[in-house]
Structure 1
């Protein structure tokens, strides 16, 4: 059926666009009154069993990256000149929006920025902090927001800090000194300096990244796989001598297109896998060729990427005859393709890659989060890059912000996916895509918490034109009922929010389906993301 079939009907729905929420039932009623039968539909079935579990969902997969890049820090989370700033200079409206997303871990201070960063620059009185050239983004760094400010900010959000150490221009001694400054009790040089700077009690930071994207020639201090692994191994040794309780993340490949992928990953894991707890993955998805069907099948690539690095972990473990487990930290991920440029022209807080996200971008973000659930046995940390302004779910100006389309899947997953990820059996129509071959029309993931009896189901209808009637069948014990549901959808994959129209694409509550024994059916409109919460009897 041609793509313009639904577009031709869209004027009939104008009352529904003004009166939200839109439901498939309402749309059907409009069509019936016009004498039109809604025939462009397909069916799918999802089989659920609360005992068939993939793994425990780590809350740390709901994390973010706060990098000194563009306007993420300055004019983003920290903006003393804004009328919305609190006495610390933190934007109160940004804090509220970030708390709504419910981030559990924040990676800082980069990103590429970290490979030239001197952590000491962000300590001590602000009036004495140096202004430096940030060579990564060709910007001027004022260091008015630094180590102590970030720790206070993370604590305000209730998020664990994950510090990236400079293994580009920095030394292994610098990395060890940072651990001493952050985590050791007073009595030695750097811990005493922390106390002098106003924080006597150790911060107790648990998570540290051993550099950033060291496989990339663009990285300051770039190393090959052997050189990086050897430097990171020695840094890890010193850092854990300072604090044996810390958990370390080594650099994996920066993307799947770089020539050294996945050999880089195998080499690093074989040479230093026993020294780390996590291994990083980075990836950005895009739709540069305007091939929406392929773009909406991106989760096939995400899963292949995760499977490849998980295999590299297993190979390295077997080759080294190791009993040590390493998990994945997907600590940079997002959609990014509309904006280019990394040249700040030596300005403070330049406008860099301030992407405007649309409906199809949000559907890809939802699928990425579902991938984390489907790989819950191996992916234990994930950080969307970034959290404000720079390819971010929140955009600010001096006196306002708006929430991008990607805000809503982040918020819904983070607040409702908990407990165990369920291994679903999905039967759905398959359509061909140019990039990934056959892709099921339905992308699905689910969580279940046996302690609370709460379940959550996350569904994306990838089709641009075809509704999908989905039957949910519980194979063990059906829920007692449904408690809430949300949906975001639209006819235009390019629809987006803005300061002028902040609610053009949002998630709205939907009418809950009725249970009929162990099953129910709900209708998913084209280009839609749906969340359904269920209530089971607690164990």
Structure 2
């Protein structure tokens, strides 16, 4: 048996938790949009072709923003192809994923989905093959009321009121050789600055996200980020980060210690931002948008063979993946002072928490930790003092058996502690010591656990691994003791 002690003080805060860290990503890629969100052939779709079961699952996850339409896809996308009468929309080749794009789902359809979900659209503009004028035009289409070419075109297409899109990505992964229209950091920065200038002349209220380096494994990292920040600083509000976790060596112990790499990457980008801020003697802040993150390593073939909605990149997640996702979100809370946006890539079918077929869907293991954080992490992130036994890993050396984060929302009189027991073989007895105000009680406690790290959900067994309510432990003498089973994620909601 392993042990851990957490010292929790509700006065020891890191920062307010931005609700936009609970975001998603929907790209025209594989079956994310077609046969995922939009599937007119399914009996489960409404009269507009939108999957009702998928929408209900997305509503439960409560994404505060959804990034669209890409991703690599956006670097070759003409947004005007996806508006107007469907019968007039062109069928084209998508060069990013070697697929056929029918354009039957576009900007207006996406905005309607966001409206129903109550989520903020986070639009990306094409800075690959697209022009500065194209970027300005789509802002005009989405955000101006009336009286100009593109605002009137939106009204003609059925949307009288502007969409008021706040968040705009200035391209995607522009340092990647796989990107249509790849640019050097210097050339990207020049184009991004001019696009930002034009977009903000259309709508000065928008917030802009510049492309950071597409991976910490890129040769350009982190110098790309420095150059882009230095050149675009006055125009942007966020710098993007992308990262995908993997367990190609089938080394569960090391995989469960992956958060060290997440934090190294995050700390490097945060330090680069601070360096540029100091160099510029600037008083403004630029924050981080981690607008692509997830586990992804099994299904890596992105070649759609020029099919419509090809079945590509459909990762099936297991218990250890869910525990990594939970720890990833622990990292989000621990760095709430610099991380203000994040987008789980993606929302349906393609490396996603939801999998569909024409007659149904199931929720993957990673659905449940995201749901717990999205539902209960609000207010302020707390700085915990965690003392934990360790275990040895091949890649990271000694790693704590317990990973933890916490939130405290004084308006709700509620706090939540999120706990991952990385131990594969035994439970970890965990004591939470409340150093300031102790909670009146445990409101509810949820747990996802299992004995097999490779266990997963499927259409045949959709509830093999789900979050269960567990017996609420008693708060006694300012302390709380839990016995966390091996390979488990636990969320303890406290009433203050």
TM-score (structure 2 length as normaliser): 0.99
> Who is 1:96 aligned against?
56
Is 1:212 the counterpart of 2:172? The answer is: yes
Instruction: Provide the C-alpha distance between the structure 2 equivalents of 1:151 and 1:226, rounded to a whole number of angstroms.
Output: 33
Indicate if the aligned counterparts of 2:448 and 2:465 stay in contact, CA closer than 8 A: yes
Residue 434 of structure 2 is aligned with which of 447, 465, 474?
474
The Cα of 1:506 is off from its aligned counterpart by 0.9
Q: 1:346 aligns with which of 293, 302, 306?
A: 306
- Is 1:370 aligned with 2:341? no
Q: Distance in 1 between matches of 2:341 and 2:325?
A: 16
What's the CA shift for 1:431?
Answer: 2.1
Cα pair 1:138 1:345 within 8 Å, conserved: yes
- Between the aligned partners of 1:333 and 1:515, the Cα distance in structure 2 is 36
1:358 aligns with 2:318: yes
Q: CA separation in 2, counterparts of 1:260 and 1:461?
A: 36
Match of 1:27 in 2: none
Q: 1:150 matched to which residue of 2?
A: 110
- What is the CA–CA distance in structure 2 between the aligned matches of 1:270 and 1:162, rounded to whole Å? 24
2:151 aligned to 191, 197, 208, which one?
A: 191
Q: Which residue of 2 aligns with 1:22?
A: none
5 Å matches for 1:319-468? 319-468=279-428
SS in 1 for 2:172: coil
**Number of the residue aligned with 2:163:** 203
Question: Cα deviations across residues 132-162 of structure 1 (Å, max 9, x unaligned)?
Answer: 1000000000000011000000111111000
- Aligned to 1:274, what secondary structure does the other structure show? coil
Instruction: Give the Å deviation of 1:91.
Output: 0.4
Cα drift, residue 321 of structure 1: 1.5
**Cα distance per residue 1:328-365 (max 9 Å; x no partner):** 00000000011120110000000011000000000000
User: Whole-Å Cα distance in 1 between the matches of residues 448 and 274 of structure 2?
Assistant: 39
Asked if residue 79 in structure 1 is aligned to residue 59 in structure 2, the reply is no
Q: Shift of residue 285 of structure 1? A: 0.0
User: Contact 1:441 / 1:462 at 8 angstroms: preserved in 2?
Assistant: yes
Please give the secondary structure, in 1, of the residue aligned with 2:308: coil
Deviation at 1:304, TM superposition (A): 1.0
Gaps spanning 5+ residues in structure 2: where?
none
Decide which of 251, 258, 262 is 2:218's aligned counterpart: 258
Q: What's 2:273 paired with? A: 313
- Kept in 2: contact 1:249–1:278 (CA 8 A): yes
Please give the alpha-carbon distance, in whole angstroms, between the structure 2 residues aligned to 1:115 and 1:122.
Answer: 15
Aligned position for 1:236: 196
Are 2:97 and 2:302, in contact at CA under 8 Å, matched by a contact in 1?
A: yes
1:178 — aligned with what?
138
Secondary structure at the aligned position of 2:233 is classed as: helix
Distance across 2 between alignment mates of 1:274 and 1:307 = 22
- Contact kept, 8 Å, 1:57 with 1:419, in 2: the verdict is yes
> Size of the alignment, in residue pairs?
496
Query: 1:329, 1:398 → 2: CA distance?
Result: 34
Match for residue 527 of structure 1 among 471, 487, 494: 487
8 Å contact from structure 1 (residues 69, 390) kept in 2: yes
1:293 aligns with 2:225: no
What SS does structure 2 have at the residue aligned with 1:435? Answer: coil
Look up the match of 2:450: 490
Contact 2:421 2:484 in 1 (8 A): yes
Asked if structure 1 preserves the Cα contact closer than 8 Å seen for 2:257 and 2:396, the reply is yes
Any conservation in 1 of the 2:2–2:401 contact (CA below 8 Å)?
no
Provide the secondary structure at the position in 2 that maps to 1:238.
Answer: helix
Give the Å deviation of 1:190.
1.0
Deviation at 1:87, TM superposition (A): 1.3
Is the 8 Å Cα contact of residues 274 and 322 (structure 1) preserved in structure 2? Answer: no
Aligned ranges 1:119-134 → 2 under 5 Å: 119-134=79-94
Structure with higher Rg: it is 1
CA distance in 1 between partners of 2:80 and 2:399 (Å): 50
Given that 1:62 and 1:382 are in contact with CA atoms closer than 8 Å, whether structure 2 keeps it comes out as yes
Q: What does the per-residue CA deviation read over 1:475-518, in whole Å, with 9 as the maximum and x for residues that have no partner?
A: 00100001111111111100000000111111100001111110
Shift of 1:289: 0.4
TM-score (norm 1): 0.91
Distance 1:432 1:295 in 2: 12
Quote the offset at 1:198 in angstroms.
1.2
Q: 4+ residue runs of structure 1 moved beyond 4 angstroms?
A: none
Secondary structure in structure 1 of the residue aligned to 2:323: helix
Distance 2:241 2:395 in 1: 21
1:207 Cα deviation (Å)?
0.3
Aligned equivalent of 2:234, options 268, 274, 293: 274
